[in-house]
Amino acid sequence: MLTSLQNSLVKQIRKLHSTKERHKQQLFLLEGTHLLEEACAVNYPLETVCCTQDWQVAHLSLWEEACSRCDRAEIVSREVLDAIATTVQPDGVVATAKRSQRQTQLPFTGLVLALETVQDPGNLGTMIRTAAAAGASGLWISGDSVDLDSPKVLRASAGQWFRLATAVTEDLKATVQQSQQAGMQIVATLPDATLTYWEVDWRKPSMILLGNEGAGLSADLAAIADRQVRIPLSPGVESLNVAIAAALMLYEAQRQLICQ
C-alpha cells in the first residue's frame, strides 16, 4: 500500500491537477467510480489506477477489469487518495490515462457542435453530455478554450466524454470552412438574427456554432454561417447560458428527425 505523499508516483499524479502538467505528461485524470466504469465500458486504455482498500473490496470486479487495462495498479491510503484527487471527497478511486487517445478528426455527417473560446469546464462538460444524449455526431472545440480533458469537464460530462467524438482545433474557422465544403449546413447563434432556431431544417447535416460565455460568437465565424438563428428571450433577459442554448438546438434537431 502506498502511504507516503513523497512517493514518486503520488507526486507525478498530483501534478496532473495542472493543465500545463497534463499537457507535458500527456496524461489526464479520471476521478471516481462512474468515470472509471465508463472508460472500461469503451475499452479506453488506462495508465495507472489507484484506489483505497475499502473501494477495492466494494468494487472488486471493476478493480480487476481496470487492472487488466492499465500499466500500473496501486492500493493507496485515504490520505494519498485525497492528495491525488481534485475533488474534496473522492469516492475511493483515481486513474490516469493517455491524452493521445483522443480523436483529431470528426465526421461530416449528422449534427456537430463547434465551440469557440468556451471557458467554463462545467459548460463544456454539460454540452458533451447533452450532445451525446441528443445523438450528435461530435463536438469541435477551439484550442483557446478550456482544456478538453480537465477533471471538471470529465465530471460534468457524467461519463459521456468517453462516448462522444470530440476534437480540438487550433484553427476553428478553417475547420468550419472544411465542414461547409463537405456539405454541412453551418448555423450560427446570434441574438439579433431574424430566424428562430426552430425555423431551420435540422434534417440536413449541420454544424452549430456557439461562442464564448461573455463575448459570444466572433464576427469572423458568424459571417461564414449559412444560417444565423436566435433563441427568443423575454424582455430584459440578455442571454442564455451557452450549454442551455446548445441543448435547445440539439433537441429541436432531434425532434425534427423523429417527426420527419
What is the rounded average pLDDT of the residues 239-250?
94
Is domain 8-101 annotated with CATH 3.30.1330.10? no
Binned at pLDDT 50, 70 and 90, residue 248 comes out as: very high
Q: For residue range 128-137, what is the model confidence (pLDDT) as tens digits?
A: 999 999 999 9
Q: At what angle do helices 60-69 and 33-41 cross, to 10 degrees?
A: 50
Task: Give ranges for CATH 3.40.1280.10 in the chain.
Answer: 111-259
Whether pLDDT at 102 is above 70: no
Q: For residue range 72-92, what is the model confidence (pLDDT) as tens digits?
A: 999 999 999 999 999 988 999
Domain with residues 111-259, CATH architecture:
3-Layer(aba) Sandwich (3.40)
Whether pLDDT at 106 is above 80: yes
**According to the model, what pLDDT value does residue 142 have?**
96
**According to the model, what pLDDT value does residue 50 have?**
98
Task: Give ranges for CATH 3.30.1330.30 in the chain.
Answer: 8-101
Binned at pLDDT 50, 70 and 90, residue 150 comes out as: very high
What is the rounded average pLDDT of the residues 147-152?
95
What is the rounded average pLDDT of the residues 216-234?
94
**According to the model, what pLDDT value does residue 239 have?**
83
**According to the model, what pLDDT value does residue 103 have?**
66
Whether pLDDT at 260 is above 90: no
